[in-house]
Structure 1
């Protein structure tokens, strides 16, 4: 994906995660409010494969961390349905670190 496409996909993930947390449990809503007060921090990391992305999504769900997988609509660079980005959180930094500390910045 181009840098612009990556940025757009990350924006989709952020919106999807926000919506999920806003409609989630009371504890997710509280974490969402704290995340908003903190300036909505975001970090972009890379995985090496779809399998790694899928495993990370599963691990996040098991840990009760919001996880939203973005699939492309197929209008520009990618085939429709291609998984592009996994949004995680908002969540406590300690919970996210357990999932992604081994990943590198994009």
Structure 2
């Protein structure tokens, strides 16, 4: 999936122009993560789904059938169609310790 990725420090956004949707990741508080999935129709917001969970209820997974990564929230919600690089960006933004922010890896 091709995304236009932006990070303004408070919100990490993945926008797909081809499919007219945007995924936003935010940190409303220290222990809380919010993901918003917004749909657009002809450039105007149509609807948005928002899921919040604690940081400890998030897990990253790889799907061998689709050859892509997905993120599962403790509420049972899954956000999918990411590549390894996208998962690294999301994990770094949310504050997870990942390969990219370990000093020995740099």
Whether these two folds match at TM > 0.5 is: no
Where is the helix percentage greater, Structure 1 or Structure 2?
1
* TM-score class, shorter: under 0.3
User: Greater relative contact order (Cα 8 A, min sep 6): structure 1 or 2?
Assistant: 1
State the TM-score, normalized to the length of structure 2.
Answer: 0.23
State the TM-score, normalized to the length of structure 1.
Answer: 0.23
